[in-house]
Amino acid sequence: MGVEDDLGTPVLRTVPATRVVSLVPSLTEAIASADSSALVGATDWCTHPPDLAVARVRGTKNPDVRAIVDLGPDLVIANKEENREIDVRRLRDAGIAVWVTEIGSLGRAFTSLERMFDEALGWERPGWLSTAQAAWAAPLDGPRLRVSVPIWRDPWMVVGPQTFTADLLRRLGCDLVPVDSLDRYPTVSRDLLDAAGADVILLPDEPYVFSAQDGPEAFVLTPTQLVSGRLLTWYGPSLVPARQELESALLPWRQPRL
């Protein structure tokens, strides 16, 4: 059967899929939540679920194409931002069906996940998907905040406005402090980041592992808050607890200051 993936590329695949390789950590978790037995391969960065026992095919940017082909998958799941076009092309040239997702916003994430389960995998949607949609549909309460979100240091890099994380933050009532760049993840100086006027700088634990001992000490003008990177950047089952847990982390900065 043939259908178009998120990029409009026709994909001939077998449904329901019974042998799946995922090259996207968020989607690996999503797929495993529905049928872990069908997942035969994943990247080294696919850390959820923690007990996932499948063949590892290196990273998102350097997958082992030969190892993937040897696994004989019905379908490989990829993502436009996380994976390279050349690797998708090599897999397709080897006769492997590849479904490429494109997720630039929270709404797009829900739509893409629905299509992945309905059309790509041919599976029943997992219950957490509607639960997550309901959680994020609830109205926003409280004043808006100005935030910055570093994702790396030395050099310092931050989340830009045209990203899934930026849209998720907007729905949490947070506006990114603008930087003079149109890049999705621009590089900025630490001094500029500290003096940009954010209410709080959010320090996630991935991809750079910010911690109480590594990150907060770099800023003297702006307070910081450690947060889960998975809750900020992953689109999958983590979207169910993400809103409540992130709102709790932001709550201190919404309180009136004397």
pTM exceeds 0.75: yes
CATH 3.40.50.1980 range(s) for the chain read: 2-125, 139-254
Note the residue count of the chain: 258
Average of per-residue pLDDT across 204-229: 97
Residue 155 exposed, middle or buried by CB count within 10 Å (0-12, 13-18, 19+): exposed
**Percent of the chain beyond pLDDT 90?**
90
- Residue-wise pLDDT tens digits, 43-73: 999 999 999 999 999 999 999 999 999 999 9
Q: How many CA atoms lie within 13 A of 165 on its CB side?
A: 26
Q: What is the pLDDT of residue 155?
A: 96
Average of per-residue pLDDT across 211-224: 97
CB 228 within 8 A of CB 210: no
* Neighbouring residues of 100: CB distance < 8 A, sequence distance ≥ 6: 5, 6, 7, 9, 78, 79, 80, 83, 88
Which range has the worst mean pLDDT, 7-11, 12-16, 151-155?
A: 12-16
Cα(42)–Cα(27) distance, rounded to whole angstroms?
10
Average of per-residue pLDDT across 117-144: 94
Average of per-residue pLDDT across 25-42: 97
In this prediction, residue 258 has a pLDDT band, given cuts at 50, 70 and 90, of very low
- Cis peptide leading into 207, omega within 30 of 0? yes
Q: What is the pLDDT of residue 66?
A: 97
Residue 91 has pLDDT above 70, yes or no: yes
Residue 139 has pLDDT above 90, yes or no: no
CATH class, domain 2-125, is alpha beta
Q: How many CA atoms lie within 13 A of 208 on its CB side?
A: 19
Mean residue pLDDT across the chain? 95
**Percent of the chain beyond pLDDT 70?**
98
CATH class, domain 139-254, is alpha beta
Residue 179 has pLDDT above 90, yes or no: no
In this prediction, residue 254 has a pLDDT band, given cuts at 50, 70 and 90, of confident
Q: What is the pLDDT of residue 257?
A: 57
Average of per-residue pLDDT across 111-139: 96
Q: What is the pLDDT of residue 1?
A: 67
CB 166 within 8 A of CB 151: no
* Neighbouring residues of 115: CB distance < 8 A, sequence distance ≥ 6: 6
